[in-house]
Amino acid sequence: MASRREVMAGAAIFALVTGLPVPAMAASPSPRIALLLRTVAQIVIPRSDTPGAGDVGVGAFLTLAFAHGLDGTGEPIRHDLWLEQELNRRAGRDFLALPPTQQARIVAQLDAEAFPAGPPPATPSPWVAIKGLILTGYYTSEAGASKELQYNLIPGRWDADIPLKPGDRAFSSDWTAVEFG
């Protein structure tokens, strides 16, 4: 688990790299919202042979991302509060009081509705931006980029068709699938 110092250092570096003002980082969520964001991040990317998203501080990253409106999470809605209300509504009570299996089921239902097999909804769910930030936070963390993914700074030759074996990991140095802008 990342220490508070590591999370704050990472947030400061993130703010400097992206040009976001550091004073906005001072906004901290309530302990309840912080626990909710950590719990949901851990559900989306659970611990396996590598740490989960909650383990590496993605909940703290979400707080910072929401404060700066990354991926459209600015006004008119507060994504952290929307998430708490939506999960509590689906749970019929306090989402955080549910057993982990029920929490995972509710998040899976929310995910299935936001990312349907057919055409996407006309108005995207706020969950789309939240999940995107969870994935960004995790796969740009040390554990996500260097333990979950393979890293090869200087890949060898280019091969059009590389056979994959079960258990092969994607490369964190392959940015060809990333959309910018």
pLDDT in tens, 105-115: 999 999 999 99
Tell whether the model's pLDDT for residue 178 goes beyond 60: no
The answer to the question of residue 168 being in a domain is: no
DSSP state of 146: I
Q: How far apart are the first and last CA of the chain?
A: 31
Segment 27-31 shows an average pLDDT of: 80
Tell whether the model's pLDDT for residue 26 goes beyond 50: no
- CA–CA gap between residue 19 and residue 5 (Å, rounded): 21
Length of the chain: 181
Distance of CA 59 to the CA centre of its chain: 8
The mean-pLDDT minimum among 7-16, 69-78, 140-149 falls in 7-16
Which domain range does residue 133 map to? 4-148
| Coil, strand or helix at 31 | helix
The answer to the question of residue 20 being in a domain is: yes
Confidence label for 72 from pLDDT (cuts 50, 70 and 90): confident
Global pTM reads 0.73
The answer to the question of residue 157 being in a domain is: no
The mean of the pLDDT values for the chain is 83
Number of domain units in the chain: 1
74 or 3, higher pLDDT: 74
76 or 41, higher pLDDT: 41
DSSP one-letter string for 57-118 = THHHHHHHHHHTTGGGTSTTS-HHHHHHHHHHHHHTS-GGGS-HHHHHHHHHHHHHHHS-SS
pLDDT at 12: 61
